[in-house]
Chain A
Amino acid sequence: MTTSTRRSVLRTTAWSTLAVAAALAGCSKKEEAAPDASASAPAASAAVAAAPSASAPLKIAFAYLGPVGDGGWTFAHDNGRKALEKELGSQVQTTFVESVPESADAERVFRDMVAQGNTLIFGTSFGYMEPMLKVAADNKGVHFEHATGYKTADNMRVYDNRTYEGAYMAGVVAGGMTKTNTIGVVGSIPIPEVIRNIDSYTLGAQSVNPKIKVKVVWVNEWFNPPKETEGAQSLIDGGADVLLQNTDSSAVLQTAEKNGKYAFGWDSDMTAYGPKAHLASSVNIWGPYYIKAAKDAINGTWTTGHTWWGVKEGAIDLVSISDKVPADLKAKVDKVKAGLKDGSFSIWKGPILSNDGKEVLKKDVVADDGFLGGIKFFVKGVEGKVPGDK
């Protein structure tokens, strides 16, 4: 009696472990065919036939971190994919796999994509770097594009957006709108990209309000709406009244809405999710890069390297600025935007101090991309330490 009960306890535990593993492994797949070639205008058919790609469209696959419907990071990438399809029409055929975990599963997904004949593959999350590198080494004829990473190969290159420019502009708005001089950030995973965004948000806020303090909480995931909610709630409880998130859903904005505070949209325009709380959205516009990458592959001009686009190239923008933001504050944002566009303004220009008092950037020195890519410190004004930093 006792032994059998004990065994069943063990069995319960074993099954539960299996269950969690299975749940984590689950990822869904959807395909979307490009518009049929025969649907293109008949008058143009001769011209189309002359193009080398008309008979066999370039097969392009995207691996997404979250579901397309996240309303944030993945949604923005999918908009980019749609822009690509619209621009290049029957020259390309795109497919995507959503909710691909940042684990060994990603490698399986990439190998699957290669097996299906895709010759241009986009991996849209940092954690796909190592799996993609492995698959790229085995498939020299396929072009790989990795978002937000830093490792490249002959047939794998890196692309990213200067999301910190959006964070800085959001910071300018936040600094002008806060009443408590305390603003908050719900961070995802403490990698340089996210830390740089938190720092830039802080620098933006300090540019209009030197008394700004910034509180940070980490949820250690890119996409977990309840956890993002809990993190946002604790920031609000701690006195922060304008929130930014570097996570992938609209949960933080909605939490601010519920509490009568302000927040921003991130990656995609999130106005609809919290019309009262929403101050502006920092958006990623991936379309131009996806079009360029596909054209490179079609024309045979694809070479490895790094691409880091921002406001200047039309890849980053601060949009849907709320009517609650006073005109003079809006003007400040416009000035920053114009400066980023023509190159007359640099966000990371010294003197900049880290929050333990060290001068990390000397007066009038402008940080280069190498510096920006390795930021692992908080600037002065951010509370707490970067996790893992001794």
Chain B
Amino acid sequence: MDTYALLLAATLNAGTVLAIAGLGLLINERSGIVNLGAEGMMLVAAIAGFATAVQTGSDWLAFGAGALAGALMAGAFGVLVIWLNTNQYATGLALSLFGSGFSAFVGINYTQEHLAARPHFAIPLLGDIPFIGPALFRQHPMVYITIAFMAALTWFLYRSRAGLVLRAVGESPESAHALGYPVRLIRLMAVMAGGALCGVAGAYISVVYTPLWVEGMVAGKGWIALALTTFATWRPSRVLLGAYLFGGVTMLQFHLQGEGVAISSQLLTMLPYLATIAVLVLISRNPVWIRTNMPASLGKPFFPGS
């Protein structure tokens, strides 16, 4: 029984990384910009966060540094694709490759560093309930913040005026422009917000999840987060659920192995991507579904006045 509680706890922890990055990418994709640079931004943020944690000893400053690093990289990307109208996919790829190289370069002196012992977290009283306590209430605060953030983002997108404008920019930048909204500025802000959240996710990996720095340590989580936004058909709540699902698959695979169950772990590793392709096929087959789910201008450049 306890094992399952711990499995659940590990799933929440694994899903949180994907959820933070996925929600960030959702924001910029809702504004019509695809940023394939997630992996690179997360790597740079991971070393920025780790270095900050080593120097200051504060996890929260580390998350801040990660967010800043992610936002700066996304800002550079934003200027390129929004004002100079470079191809979003190619630029995003370049950002990703740049990020993995750059993080390895600046991180070279931090590979031998290590952080002080990580504190344990537990919510008083709730953490002591049998089964539910160890499963749900002994997590890093970021796990709960992520859930709260998902709710806040849902409210923002669907209930606030600013969220409506953001979605309008993603659906039809021409209309938003005609109404007098600064489309490019809004897109830049969305892209930077996305970068900042990817940055927090990157810092969470290097400071909390695997408290160390080594080159390439994000190891594909950025790509999974990108797949996740599509899998979730651009809805915040589904991003969170999808993140737990993908995180759960990873943990379950190890859990089953530990129990001696013969299951191909390679097969389970493919599942998130297979699921994403299945969702893409499903929504792409139906014109109504694709219109109701996917931001209509996603990936397309916008030329004001054209």
Of B3, B209, B290, B296, which contacts A229 at CB under 8 A?
B209
Q: Are the CB atoms of B93 and A12 closer together than 8 Å?
A: no
Q: How many A-B residue pairs have CB under 8 A?
A: 174
Q: Are the CB atoms of B215 and A276 closer together than 8 Å?
A: no
- The stretch of A64-72, A198-206, A306-314 in contact with B is A64-72
User: Smallest Cβ distance from A107 to chain B, in angstroms?
Assistant: 22
User: Smallest Cβ distance from A93 to chain B, in angstroms?
Assistant: 22
Q: Are the CB atoms of A12 and B299 closer together than 8 Å?
A: yes
B residues within 8 A CB of A223?
A: 214, 216
B residues within 8 A CB of A8?
A: 298-300
B interface footprint on A1-36 (CB within 8 Å = 1, 0 otherwise): 110011011011101101110110010100000000
Q: Are the CB atoms of B97 and A225 closer together than 8 Å?
A: no
How far is it, in angstroms, between the C-alpha of A264 and the C-alpha of B306 when the chains are bound?
Answer: 64
How far is it, in angstroms, between the C-alpha of A230 and the C-alpha of B14 when the chains are bound?
Answer: 8
User: Which residues of B are in contact with A by a Cβ distance under 8 Å?
Assistant: 3, 6-7, 10, 14, 34, 36, 39, 89-90, 92-93, 96-97, 100-101, 104, 107-108, 111-112, 114, 117-118, 205, 209-212, 214-219, 221, 223, 226-227, 230, 250-251, 254-255, 257-262, 264-266, 269, 277, 280, 284, 287, 290-291, 294, 296, 298-300
User: Smallest Cβ distance from A34 to chain B, in angstroms?
Assistant: 21
How far is it, in angstroms, between the C-alpha of A66 and the C-alpha of B219 when the chains are bound?
Answer: 13
Q: Are the CB atoms of B205 and A15 closer together than 8 Å?
A: no
Residues of chain A at interface, number, CB under 8 A:
63
A148 within 8 A of B: no
Of B101, B111, B210, B251, which contacts A254 at CB under 8 A?
B210
Of B101, B221, B269, which contacts A220 at CB under 8 A?
B269
Of A231, A249, A257, which contacts B117 at CB under 8 A?
A257
User: Which residues of A are in contact with B by a Cβ distance under 8 Å?
Assistant: 1-2, 5-6, 8-9, 11-13, 15-16, 18-20, 22-23, 26, 28, 66-67, 69-71, 99, 184, 215-220, 223-231, 233-240, 249-251, 254-255, 257-258, 272-274, 276, 383-385, 387
Of B221, B266, B291, which contacts A226 at CB under 8 A?
B221
Can you report 22 A-B residue pairs in the complex whose CB atoms are below 8 A from each other?
A: A1-B296, A2-B291, A9-B280, A12-B89, A12-B230, A16-B227, A19-B36, A23-B96, A23-B97, A217-B254, A220-B266, A227-B219, A228-B210, A229-B210, A230-B251, A239-B3, A249-B212, A251-B210, A255-B210, A272-B114, A273-B114, A387-B262
Of A225, A228, A237, A274, which contacts B6 at CB under 8 A?
A237
Closest 9 CB pairs of A and B: A69-B111, A384-B260, A237-B6, A234-B254, A15-B89, A67-B215, A217-B257, A383-B260, A238-B258
B residues within 8 A CB of A227?
A: 219, 250
User: Smallest Cβ distance from B198 to chain A, in angstroms?
Assistant: 15
Q: Are the CB atoms of A2 and B290 closer together than 8 Å?
A: yes
How far is it, in angstroms, between the C-alpha of A30 and the C-alpha of B89 when the chains are bound?
Answer: 29
Which chain B residue has the least Cβ–Cβ distance from A248?
B214
B residues within 8 A CB of A257?
A: 117-118
Q: Are the CB atoms of A225 and B299 closer together than 8 Å?
A: no
B residues within 8 A CB of A217?
A: 254, 257-258
A residues within 8 A CB of B287?
A: 2
User: Smallest Cβ distance from A359 to chain B, in angstroms?
Assistant: 21
How far is it, in angstroms, between the C-alpha of A36 and the C-alpha of B42 when the chains are bound?
Answer: 40
Q: Are the CB atoms of A70 and B214 closer together than 8 Å?
A: yes
How far is it, in angstroms, between the C-alpha of A323 and the C-alpha of B53 when the chains are bound?
Answer: 28
Q: Are the CB atoms of B3 and A12 closer together than 8 Å?
A: no
Q: Are the CB atoms of B259 and A238 closer together than 8 Å?
A: yes
Which chain A residue has the least Cβ–Cβ distance from B262?
A385
How far is it, in angstroms, between the C-alpha of A276 and the C-alpha of B269 when the chains are bound?
Answer: 32
Q: Are the CB atoms of A6 and B215 closer together than 8 Å?
A: no
A residues within 8 A CB of B92?
A: 15, 19
